[in-house]
Structure 1
Amino acid sequence: MLQWLIHILVDAAVLLIAAKLLSTVHIKGFSTALLVALIIGVLSFLLSWLLTAILTFATLGIFYFLGIGFITRIIAFAIVIEIADKLTSDFKTDGFMASIWLAVFIALAGGILDAILF
């Protein structure tokens, strides 16, 4: 449970940083970032595995055979971010490419956090 809470806080910080760095990501404040990080975390838990399985099946597993299966996970995570964009009014991504970049940033931050703390 503590690991999940830390990830939510780090994801919220990454959302704020990404909003500053990317002109295509808009977020109102830290409370909105926490809400969006929570929505992304829950949706990722509930839907990410299904989206990854569908994308793997649709591509005939080519990314996994090539050893770059993380691409399907990033795209699935970007779809989750797009869903979170539609669920909240204070968070906006301009296009799918912004969601992909945001998914990469959050995945990198989560991987670094896991390597350091857990």
Structure 2
Amino acid sequence: MLNWLLHIIIDAAVLLIAAKMLPKVEIKGWKTALVVALLIGILSFFLSWILTAVLNIATLGLFFFLGLGFITRIIAFAIIIELADKLSTGFKTHGFMPSLWLAILIAIVGSLVDWIIL
């Protein structure tokens, strides 16, 4: 539980930093970032495996068999960020590419946090 809470807080910080770095990502403030990070976490928990499976089927498992399955997971995570954009107020990504870059940043920072914690 503490690990999950730490990830939500760090993801919110990544969202705020990314909003300053990426011109096509807008976020209102810290409270909105926490809500969006929580929303992304919940959507990821429920939808990530479905989206990843659909993308693996759509690509005939090409990335999975080449050992590049993380690409389909990143794309699924970008779709989840797009869904969070539609479901929340105060958070906006203008197009799919900013969501993709945001997914990559969150995945890298999340992996680093997991590496440091373990």
- Displacement after TM superposition at 1:64 (Å): 1.1
In structure 2, give the amino acid aligned to 1:64. Answer: F
**Which whole-Å CA distance do the structure 1 matches of 2:28 and 2:77 have between them?**
22
Q: Which residue of 1 aligns with 2:93?
A: 93
- TM-score for both structures, normalised by structure 1: 0.99
Q: Name segments (4+ residues, structure 1) moved above 2 Å.
A: none
**Which whole-Å CA distance do the structure 2 matches of 1:40 and 1:89 have between them?**
13
Q: Which residue of 2 aligns with 1:82?
A: 82
Q: Which residue of 2 aligns with 1:29?
A: 29
Q: Which residue of 2 aligns with 1:38?
A: 38
Q: Which residue of 1 aligns with 2:49?
A: 49
**Which whole-Å CA distance do the structure 1 matches of 2:94 and 2:80 have between them?**
15
Q: Which residue of 1 aligns with 2:102?
A: 102
In structure 2, give the amino acid aligned to 1:3. Answer: N
In structure 1, give the amino acid aligned to 2:76. Answer: A
- Displacement after TM superposition at 1:50 (Å): 0.4
In structure 2, give the amino acid aligned to 1:56. Answer: N
In structure 1, give the amino acid aligned to 2:25. Answer: V
Deviations 1:1-49 (A, max 9, x none): 0000000000000000000000010000000000000000000000001
Runs of 5+ in structure 2 lacking a partner? none
Deviations 1:60-89 (A, max 9, x none): 000011111100000000000000000012
- Displacement after TM superposition at 1:55 (Å): 0.3
**Which whole-Å CA distance do the structure 2 matches of 1:87 and 1:38 have between them?**
12
- TM-score for both structures, normalised by structure 2: 0.99
Runs of 5+ in structure 1 lacking a partner? none
Equivalenced residue count is 118
